[in-house]
Amino acid sequence: MNSFFDTIEELSRSRKIRDGKLEDAIYEILEKAALAINAQRVNAWLYNADYSQIHCIGNYDLEKHKLVSQSDLPRVAMPKYFKLFESEKLIATHDALNNPKTAELLEIYLKPNHIESLMDIPMRIEGEIIGVVCFENTKEQHKWTEDEKKFGLVITQMVSLAVETHERTKVKMQLEQLLEEQRVLLQEVHHRVKNNLTIVSSLLNLQSEKAKDKFHQDLFQEVRSRINSIATVHQLLYQSKSYSSVNFKKYLHELLQNLSETFSNQAKGITLVPKINDVELPVSIAIPLSLIVNELVTNSYKHAFKATGTGTIEIELSENEKMVELIVKDSGPGFTPQSTKKSSVGLEILDALIEQINATLAYNNTNGSTYKITFRNSL
């Protein structure tokens, strides 16, 4: 009895069972079970996918001290035998060759393997029978004690656990593989989108060289700036481990750097002052918001400092209890939006983008232009 307890305790600490290494776990369980119960053969079987056969996943031979091969068996040849498992916890007989319960096994299994006594226990996962664990004596008949039956039930549960853990590990690995494939695919998608947008931006740049006046050159520059702001989001997405959200702090720093370089010639006296906290935003918000920032900062560069040529543009980003606040303000003279909207495509775009992310906009023209945009983060 102590040998049974010791074996169960040792197996309960097995890393092979917990790690889902089925072959190693089955070998360890069957070997230790055979030694503890002194059965010449201990084997484990699983039904195949359509339940037409039962496949041996391990057959430990105590005399040979190793696993030996065992052919699969057709379930159709043993209908009554397997039917018993639906009503009985186990089938134990000391005289397997003459017991009516095991008569169907006589010619196809018992005689070929010289089995005198057996104890077969159905293996279940969530109540469903998935296979059988068999304890077999070949040298002489053996009457199975209650302690041996209890031990056999525990061993069968351990085999079942090893099988279940292995299946879960296999499914986990398959899911991880699928996720990795999806990650690579999404990375490639964002990479191609970014490259295509860059090509479009380059084509616009070539086309702008044919513009005959500054007005049309500025139009091309505005469109390129908007395209580049979207391209930067996709660039961050394919460079990051997340493909559904963007660290908008990192994005803003890149966007502001690009805008600063774009307006470097005509805005040498203008200083960008970023006050940006870490805010993670979904792509569905990040792209419209990137265009909003692009429009507001571009407008400040182009219109706020015509008189002085110097000033500051402040960009603030913060989040508090899922509410995100973006503030863009400049030290220019300010303007009246109502009087400008009819002639400003940029402001029309701004209104559409703010509506797209369900944000609210507050504008103040005291001591310059201040835009405060507030919305809920859906992450």
Regarding whether 115 and 12 lie in a shared domain, the answer is yes
Put residue 309 in one of left, alpha, beta given phi > 0 → left and psi -120 to 50 → alpha.
Answer: left
Residue 111 lies in a domain: yes
The structure tokens 């039917």 sit at: 83
| CATH number for the domain that contains residue 166 | 3.30.450.40
Regarding whether 9 and 130 lie in a shared domain, the answer is yes
Report DSSP state, residue 75.
Answer: G
The sign of the torsion formed by the CA atoms of 79, 84, 86, 89 equals negative
Q: Which of 49-53, 116-120, 354-358, 361-365 has the highest mean pLDDT?
A: 116-120
pLDDT band at residue 342 under the 50/70/90 scheme: very low
pTM higher than 0.85: no
What is the per-residue pLDDT across 9-51, written as a single tens digit (0 to 9) for each?
999 898 888 888 899 999 999 999 999 999 999 999 999 888 8
User: What end-to-end distance do the CA atoms of the chain give, in Å?
Assistant: 58
How many domains is the chain built from?
2
Kindly state the tokens that stand for 107: 């010619």
Kindly state the tokens that stand for 239: 């460079």
Q: Is the pLDDT of residue 345 over 70?
A: no
Q: Percentage of the chain with pLDDT > 70?
A: 92
Domain of residue 112, residue span: 2-172
Q: Which of 126, 146, 172 represents a domain boundary (last residue)? A: 172
Q: Which of 134, 149, 172 represents a domain boundary (last residue)? A: 172
Q: Which of 172, 195, 210 represents a domain boundary (last residue)? A: 172
Cβ neighbours of 268 (radius 10 Å): 9
